[in-house]
Amino acid sequence: MSTGYLTRSDERRRFDVEFLYKEENISASRFMRSSGDMTAKKIAACSILTGVLFLLFDMVSALLTSPLVSPYADLPIWKIPPNIVAGVIFDLINGVILVVVYITIYKGLPGLGWKKGLNYGIIVGLFRVVMTSFSSIVLYNVPLIVVTSSLITGYLEIVILCMILALLYEKTIARTQSGSERRFL
């Protein structure tokens, strides 16, 4: 029969339960913080690696298309010499953008692994490469062969890059976030 008053042992049990609950929450929040830090580091590493790959792919594309583009080297559309520092910075920024958008829309992309990256690359290529090529034809006096070679190499570049990004994401970041909701912010 209860008198409505807590005995000393009841108070002690309640204190122990509250203490354990608070300790569990504190250690869980510490874990979440450290897990979040690790995920942020992996996202940053993945972004930098994607940016470096972007830069390497741009160099390979330039080498592959130079025989097609070199007859048009005299046209006033080219920046001579090209701004290499800006190119490196912009490719690294593009790497960050690709990773952040990929993480944001990850669940909505069909497929798994590299197939998910292929689908992402097709989407990104439509917005980045195809639209830029169309704008170049409309706005600038650029020979069609230059735009076409840029369209083909740019689209292949972005699709391959996104497939690699998908594999990187699955191997690093997705494992860190398994069991929890995958969110960037």
List pLDDT tens digits, range 56-112.
999 999 899 889 888 888 888 888 888 999 999 999 999 999 999 999 999 999 999
- The reported pLDDT for the residue numbered 90 is 94
- The reported pLDDT for the residue numbered 114 is 94
Q: Is the pLDDT of residue 113 over 50?
A: yes
Can you tell me whether residue 85 is helix, strand or coil?
helix
Nearest to 116 by CA among 182, 26, 42, 27: 182
Instruction: Give alpha helix (H) positions in the chain.
Output: 8-69, 84-105, 114-125, 131-139, 144-171, 173-176
List pLDDT tens digits, range 48-71.
999 999 999 999 998 998 898 888
Of 33-42, 138-147, 154-163, where does mean pLDDT reach its minimum?
33-42
The pTM of this model reads 0.71
Can you tell me whether residue 100 is helix, strand or coil?
helix
